[in-house]
Amino acid sequence: MSIEYKEIAGGVCAAAGFKAYGVHAGFRKNTTKLDLAMLVADKPCTAAGTYTKNKVFAAPVGVTRSHLADGIAQAVICNSGNANACTPDGYETAEASCAAVSAVTGIPAENVIVASTGVIGVSLPLEPLTGALPELYGALEASAVGADMAAQAIMTTDLKKKEFALSYEWDGKVIHIGGMCKGSGMIHPNMGTMLGFITTDAAVSSAMLDKALHAAIEDSFNMVSVDGDTSTNDMVCVMASGMSGADEILDENDAYKAFAGALNALCMKMASAIAADGEGATKFLRCEVTGAASREDARVLAKSVISSSLVKTAMFGADANWGRVICALGYSGVDIDMKTIDISFSSEAGSIDVCKDGGTLLFDEDIAKKILSCDSVMIHCNMHAGEFSAVAMGCDLSYEYVRINGDYRS
């Protein structure tokens, strides 16, 4: 089965049946940055979500999890600037936010997905939300502009807005899927540690939507690491309106496979964008581990390399210090044989082998420098221990990361 997924414009409004917008509500002071996004479906959608694995999770994560327990949602409300985490009134405020959305839209509060991102430990005020909601609801647009405004409003330290959309044909119908996400610091393997909202006009049962989302997350968001920290607020949610007119997907048939492929491709685009936009990143890094003894080994090894502060700083300096790569493979916890490991680096400037059988190779440092100076670098590790592989995504560690995080709250 070969499906062509076309990249299209429109973000979360690319699929039929969704409107979005973003405004400056005032969660952030002394700025006009957009800080409140809303996404509303024309009718109740099937829905699914995945959430942070951090034992300390924010109130909106708990509330959304309970709201999505029935697999139905119709709206998303998301603020940036304040995480609504670790405060005494967090749950109350998160529920009140959903109630406020319900009052304005007529959508039942339990069909509202609520999310927050920003500083932890400061009570989230309700006034910016209630003040801005009528205007925000009136401004919702089923257009690229609406999607764009929403995508801007969920950004925190992100430098780039992140929205993507794809379309594909199935059984004579055109199906659309689009998403917006945010995340740059605090991005680690557990569940991607970010916010992502996906919409589609495919018709998919909530059970199949849940299955497809979890599968897509596994290879994308869960393989991203920026700084090794896992946030309290992460979630990725998907809503399916069914308005494409295609038959509803109820089991793992070919239509499911086509949809899962689209969702996977979209999640890979979003996760790559998050990795490339890691706080202070100057380059996008990937580590591909091949020849591992198991799929889990491959994943753990690739994430160990991409999470290593020493590998990340070496890449920042375009330094072909493969010793740090093999060192990170060594402490990953996977039982490996250092004597069978090969390592190479590649980018658009070429490819260079630097380690063979766990030992050093003579290589041209100038060529290596040129390869590692590109914006996107791949670290290849062949373990020669089996046939499993995995790719982890991340970025380098720069002065700018330290600057951004040394004074985030100020």
Which residues are near a copy of itself by CB under 8 A? 53-57, 83, 85-88, 119-123, 185-186, 188, 190, 227-232, 307-310, 313-314, 316-317, 319, 321-324, 326-332, 334-336, 338, 354-355, 357-360, 397-399, 401-410
CB closer to a copy of itself, 133 vs 275: 275
Q: How far is CA 70 from the centre of its chain?
A: 24
CB of residue 310 to a copy of itself, shortest distance in Å: 5
Residue 360 class from Cβ within 10 Å (0-12 exposed, 13-18 middle, 19+ buried)?
A: exposed
CB closer to a copy of itself, 333 vs 350: 333
Q: What is the DSSP string of 172-220?
A: TEEEEEEEEEE--SS--TGGGSSEEEEEE-S-B-HHHHHHHHHHHHHHT
CB closer to a copy of itself, 159 vs 402: 402
CB closer to a copy of itself, 71 vs 323: 323
**Cα 231 from Cα 83, distance rounded (Å):** 10
Q: Are 165 and 8 in contact (CB under 8 A)?
A: yes
Q: Are 8 and 147 in contact (CB under 8 A)?
A: no
Q: Compute the Cα dihedral for 32, 33, 35, 39 and give only its sign.
A: positive
Percentage helix, strand, coil for the chain under 3-state DSSP, each rounded to 5: 35, 30, 35
Alpha helices in 293-337 (DSSP H): 295-307, 309-316, 322-330
CB of residue 381 to a copy of itself, shortest distance in Å: 12
Sequence letter at residue 190: N
**Cα 145 from Cα 151, distance rounded (Å):** 10
CB of residue 232 to a copy of itself, shortest distance in Å: 5
Least Cα distance to 363 among 319, 330, 407, 310 occurs for 319
CB closer to a copy of itself, 155 vs 383: 383
CB of residue 95 to a copy of itself, shortest distance in Å: 17
CB of residue 207 to a copy of itself, shortest distance in Å: 29
Task: Give me the count of residues in the chain.
Answer: 410
Kindly name the residue from 193, 199, 232, 290 that is annotated as catalytic: 193
Is 193 a residue of the active site? yes
Question: Using H for helix, E for strand and C for coil, what is the string for 347-378?
Answer: ECCEEEEEEECCEECCCCHHHHHHHHCCCEEE
CB closer to a copy of itself, 279 vs 288: 279
CB of residue 331 to a copy of itself, shortest distance in Å: 4
As given in the structure block, the two tokens for residue 387 are 């046939």
CB closer to a copy of itself, 64 vs 200: 64
CB closer to a copy of itself, 86 vs 374: 86
Give the containing element (helix H, strand E) for 49.
Answer: strand 36-51
**Cα 311 from Cα 203, distance rounded (Å):** 44
CB of residue 185 to a copy of itself, shortest distance in Å: 7
**Cα 26 from Cα 163, distance rounded (Å):** 23
Question: Using H for helix, E for strand and C for coil, what is the string for 10-34?
Answer: CHHHCCCCEEEEEECCCCCCCCCCC
**What 8-state DSSP symbol labels residue 69?**
G
CB of residue 303 to a copy of itself, shortest distance in Å: 13
- Name the residues annotated as catalytic: 193
